[in-house]
A = this chain, B = another copy of it.
Amino acid sequence: MNQITQDKRMNDHKTDFDPLRDVQAGGGPGMRSFIYGHLAPEAFPIADLLAACEQSLREDGSLALQYGPQQGYGPLIDYLRTKIEHDEGLSLGREYLTITAGCAGALDAIARLFTQPGDAILVEAPTYADTLHLFRDHRLRLFQVPIDEKGLIVEATAQRLEELHRAGERPKFIYTIANFQNPTGVTLSVERRKQLIDLVRAHDVRIIEDDVYRDLRYEGEVPPSLFALDESHEAVIRVGSFSKILSPGLRLGWVTAAPQIIERMTNCGLRSMGGGDNPFAAHVVTAFCTRGLLEPHIARLREIYRARRDAALNALARSMPPGVTWTQPRGGFFVWLTLPASLLARQVIAAAEQRGVTCLPGDLFFAEGGGERNLRLAFSYLSPADITQGITALGDAIHSLNG
């Protein structure tokens, strides 16, 4: 592919940095930032997306720019059906899919249409901080269940459900990021996936499966989705996204779920008023994907992010003092550090920022507390060289506090 690499404004050192124009990598000018799971800036397929814009506008401009169908653009739904059949062996009718304004728009619609303020939701401890924020905007009450290196602990989930039932709480959903979880990078094992499906069927609770990292595996195979394992497709609402595999700026994702869920998401006031979510972006992405460009692009992204993951894990192995441990992500954007009992994450970050490197403290990722000795490192945005230097500086910071 012909890539045009453009990153002029990415340099935080420049004096006219504008926080409403330039990339918000976090941490301020001159900082190596592991804060956000931003995409590798040099990996955007700019020339191919421009060609897709041209095709969409020249061949179909008056449709791409008009109000669209509320369920989403049919040819994109059809492309996704083909992709899901190829990747997961699932043959889905159009009535099982809808196009959304990214994963964020999907989760917001699920909260708006299928919950009420005060409803209980089970989340992983830790989980994606912005999902906690989004659910809290809808005034949902969040209860957490621990995870380990095999993902959500199903036995603990069952216990928590039973405790909540005894207290008169009937959780509406269990929110899980089963693949290459944000913030830990861990993946839910196949055995636990099957147990979790059995559990939610027994307890009349649905799963929201945030599956946005599925395509970004750097080794091995991705386990079958919870959505696929639930053959009835009644127990799982699965959310996918083009944000990690193409561009977050296009704000495009999708949901696979039972037809009655898709129908309610389609026939809401927001979609009725707007003519579906992001029709123009949907046309552009359809043009890109139906030219066969997404699959080689994903293959290229796997190479790029695998190299960053490897740089992060190698630097951690070299730089971290004894007592610091971390996860071994097989995909996705994140690695999760656990500090020894003598250190607090926010203390480490303060020392690291003095050495020009920053990341997020673990406590942001817990609904009910925890994470005071954890750090999340996003390795997607920085170059391998910056990752190596940044983690070396982080190691120095921890050494300085240990000493």
Contact = CB atoms under 8 A, between A and B. Distances in A.
A80 to B, nearest CB: 12
Interface string A51-85: 00110011111111111110111110100000000
A108 B250 CA distance: 20
A44 B69 contact: no
Given A74-B18, A130-B273, A101 B101 contact: yes
Interface of A: 4-10, 18-24, 36, 38-39, 41-42, 44, 46, 49-50, 53-54, 57-69, 71-75, 77, 94, 101-105, 107-108, 112-113, 116-117, 128, 130-139, 247-251, 268-270, 272-275, 277-281, 283
A248 B274 contact: yes
Prevailing SS type, chain A contact patch: helix
B20 A72 contact: yes
Given A53-B50, A280-B251, A71 B20 contact: yes
Contacts of A270: 104-105, 108, 134, 137
7 contacts: A6-B59, A9-B60, A39-B66, A46-B61, A105-B274, A107-B273, A248-B275
Q: Indicate the member of A94, A128, A281 with the most B CB atoms within 10 Å.
A: A281
Contacts of A24: 67-69, 275
A273 to B, nearest CB: 4
A62 B74 contact: no
Contacts of A77: 20
A41 B57 contact: no
Contacts of A72: 20
Nearest to A54: B50
A19 B57 CA distance: 20
Contacts of A116: 117, 139
Given A23-B63, A36-B67, A280-B249, A133 B46 contact: no
Nearest to A61: B46
A64 B249 contact: yes
Contacts of A117: 116-117
A278 B275 contact: no
Given A20-B77, A103-B273, A112-B112, 12 more contacts: A6-B61, A6-B62, A10-B62, A18-B74, A21-B74, A23-B63, A50-B53, A53-B53, A102-B274, A107-B273, A116-B139, A249-B283
A232 B81 CA distance: 52
A73 B273 contact: no
Contacts of A20: 69, 71-75, 77, 94
Contacts of A67: 23-24, 36, 38-39, 248-249
Contacts of A250: 65, 280
A101 B249 contact: no
Nearest to A264: B137
A38 B66 contact: yes
